[in-house]
Amino acid sequence: MPNLANIDNPTEDQEQEAFVQWLRLKGYPHFRVPNETYTRSWSQKAKNKKLGVSSGVPDLFVVVPADYSDATMEFIHYGDNPVVSGDGVYGKNHRLVAIEMKRKKGGVTSANQKQWIKTLNEAGIQTVVCKGCDAAIEFIESIT
């Protein structure tokens, strides 16, 4: 039987799933860092930390059209492999934004999340908290 408690206030996961469906429908490239991957294994937890898992990283990163056209990017070489080009599909006319999803009612932003939001904004990656799928869609539409 479905959980009737969530009809008026979907869970954060349900809100995020709906938003990801919208992103796919609209063709926005996006990704999620699965930081919440649960494990009871202390060795796996230690490995995750060594590999860079960090509490509070926003839920989604989305590539959107930039509101500037004069940005420049050059090839960045690591060894012999060029990995970034301003002439690529998502080159100089796009930017990355980050979204921390919350449910419409009751979602709380943790201290670690607030710190990541501050850090990413200071680094030039616009980062916001969106309460629900509709708020996330409204945010993306407002900047594109």
* Stated pTM of the model: 0.78
**Smallest Cα–Cα separation from 107: which of 22, 2, 3, 13?**
13
| Per-residue pLDDT tens over the stretch 32-58 | 988 877 778 889 888 888 988 899 999
| Per-residue pLDDT tens over the stretch 52-90 | 889 999 999 999 998 654 444 444 445 554 444 444 444
Neighbours of 97 (CB within 10 A): 21
The arithmetic mean of pLDDT across residues 14-21, rounded, is: 98
**Smallest Cα–Cα separation from 97: which of 66, 70, 72?**
66
Where are the chain's structural domains?
A: 8-143
Determine whether domain 8-143 maps to CATH 3.40.1350.10: yes
What pLDDT does 16 receive?
97
**Smallest Cα–Cα separation from 95: which of 142, 23, 144?**
144
Confirm if 131 and 13 have CB atoms less than 8 A apart.
no
